[in-house]
Amino acid sequence: MSSFTWSPEMSLDMPALDTLHTECTDLISAVLDAADDALLALWDRLIAHTAEHFGQEDRWMQATGFAPNNCHSSQHATVLQIMREGAEQGAAGNLAMVRQMAHELTVWLPHHIDAMDAGLAQHLSEVGYDTATGRISKPEMLPQNTVSSCSVEPCGSHA
C-alpha cells in the first residue's frame, strides 16, 4: 500500500483546488500500488486527470490576469508532456519508467502546491474569484499588468 496520501498540510483552504489535489494524490497512489497489468491504464487515468486539473487551474489564471505563458502554466505543460512521454515508454514495455515517474510526482506535487498553487489560491481569494461561477467580486484587485511569473525566482527551477 502506497504511503502517498492527501494530508491536511497540502490543503489550501480552497475546496475546488483541494478536491483536484486530493483526486491527484489518490490516482498517484493507485499507480504506485498497481500491478503490472493495471499500471498503464491507471497511468492513463492519471494523465487524463492531470490534463483536466492543470487546464482548470490555467483557466482560472487566464480569467484573473495571468499571461498565457506564465511560469505556473509553463510548468503544467512541461510536467504533462513528461507524463505523456512516460506513457509512451510504458507502452514500449518500460514499466519501471512509469513507476519512477509516479514516485517523482510524490515529491513534485507537494512542492508545486506549496510553491505555486498556494500563490494562485491567495490570488483567487484576493480578487474574489468564484471557481463555480467564474465571477470576480473584487475586480479592483485584478492586477494592472498580466502576471507572467511566480513569486519564486528563477521560475525555470520549478519544472
| pLDDT tens digits in sequence order for the chain, 159 residues long | 778 999 999 999 999 999 999 999 999 999 999 999 999 999 999 999 999 999 999 999 999 998 888 999 999 999 999 999 999 999 999 999 999 999 999 999 999 999 999 999 999 999 999 999 999 999 999 998 888 765 544 454 444
Report pLDDT for 45: 98
What distance in Å separates the CA atoms of residue 57 and residue 76, rounded to the nearest whole number?
Answer: 9
Report pLDDT for 67: 86
Domain membership of residue 140 (yes or no) is yes
Domain membership of residue 122 (yes or no) is yes
Domain membership of residue 28 (yes or no) is yes
Query: Which amino acid makes up residue 41?
Result: A
Provide the CATH number for the domain around residue 39.
Answer: 1.20.120.50
pTM: 0.91
Domain membership of residue 49 (yes or no) is yes
Angle (nearest 5°) at CA 100 between 98 and 55: 65
Range(s) of the domain holding residue 120 = 10-158
What distance in Å separates the CA atoms of residue 27 and residue 47, rounded to the nearest whole number?
Answer: 9
Domain membership of residue 5 (yes or no) is no
Domain count, the chain: 1
Domain membership of residue 60 (yes or no) is yes
Domain membership of residue 73 (yes or no) is yes
